[in-house]
Amino acid sequence: MLQNMMISLLALLATDSTRQQSDSVRQMARSIVQNVTTTQSIDKLQEVGRQLADWGVVIGLRIISALAIFIVGRYVIKFINGVIKRLLNARNIDPSVKSFLESLINVLLLMLLAVAVVSKLGVETTSFAALLASFGVAVGMALSGNLQNFAGGVLILVFRPYKVGDYISAQGEEGTVIAIQIFHTVMRTYKGTNIYLPNGQMSNSMVKNFSSEPSRMVEWIISIDYGEQVERVEEAISVALKKDIRILPAPEPYIAVKALAESGIDITVRVWVKTEDYTSVLHDGNKNIYDEFNARDINFPYPQLTIHQK
């Protein structure tokens, strides 16, 4: 609009002059308009440049601040986790509850750190909360199994079918429980392998806890040849059992004929020991009985098959 007004004004002033003077005036008008237009464009570009520079400085400061919050927050979370761990250890809380609480608190602190970093970047907390809620619903539907595992972990801590340090059998595996986390129970096998079992399945399936009682029964099934005197065999077994002082006197050891099998006579031997001595007594008992049988010339049976030919 400014360009058109100035051209019209200069054209009116040049109407009384000669045609040559009019052309000269028009050229001067165009030159003035171009200069004015160029000056305005430069001013606008400079203004836009200043705004972009200010915006870049603000964004850069936000990014640096968010990065600083993230770095400092990680150290703060690590410090808080250490303090909580020391407090739980000082109060002699059950190891199962301690491992669960430590894992839960760590996850909550990381979520708070994420909210702080995002809000520092300029995202409104209310919008972020709504987005997070919608995202949580979607993730909750996709990860419903993990929510079930979380609920299973709570049930395990409440009803305590097992705790950290117990030797259990579950999901076809045996081992010692070393941690009960938010979603998983960590079990270490005798081979030194860590197995992560979902808490949801652990709370809804059968679990054998071998450490829940102070004592445990050890059982052997021993086969002898037909023709051996049972009383003589029972005496040999009793002598072998007395060599191990870890076998408890009560209940008394139980020795009886279990079955007349195809190749020999099966003898059942049952004793009671402390739970922590179960494995060692089981293995040592095999050796002691074998040595005692050899010393008394008691024979073990071999698979036999009799064929009658006409």
- Please check whether residue 184 is in contact with residue 146, taking contact to mean a CB–CB distance below 8 angstroms: no
Rounded-to-10 torsion of CA 45, 46, 50, 52:
20
CB-based contacts of 195: which residues, under 8 Å, 6+ apart? 173, 175, 186, 187, 188, 189
pLDDT in tens, 258-305: 999 888 899 999 999 999 999 999 999 999 999 999 999 998 888 767
Whether pLDDT at 33 is above 60: no
Q: Count CB-CB contacts under 10 A for residue 197.
A: 20
Band (45; pLDDT cuts 50, 70, 90) = low
pLDDT in tens, 116-163: 777 777 666 565 566 666 666 655 555 566 778 888 888 888 888 999
Among 115, 108, 105, residue whose Cα is nearest residue 69 = 115
Whether pLDDT at 2 is above 60: no
pLDDT for the residue 52: 73
Band (14; pLDDT cuts 50, 70, 90) = very low
* Structure tokens given for 133: 């809620």
Task: Kindly report whether the global pTM for this prediction surpasses the value 0.85.
Answer: no
Mean pLDDT to the nearest integer, 49-54: 73
pLDDT for the residue 273: 96
- Please check whether residue 219 is in contact with residue 286, taking contact to mean a CB–CB distance below 8 angstroms: no
Give the separation between CA 32 and CA 76, rounded to whole angstroms.
65
- Coil, strand or helix: which one is 273? strand
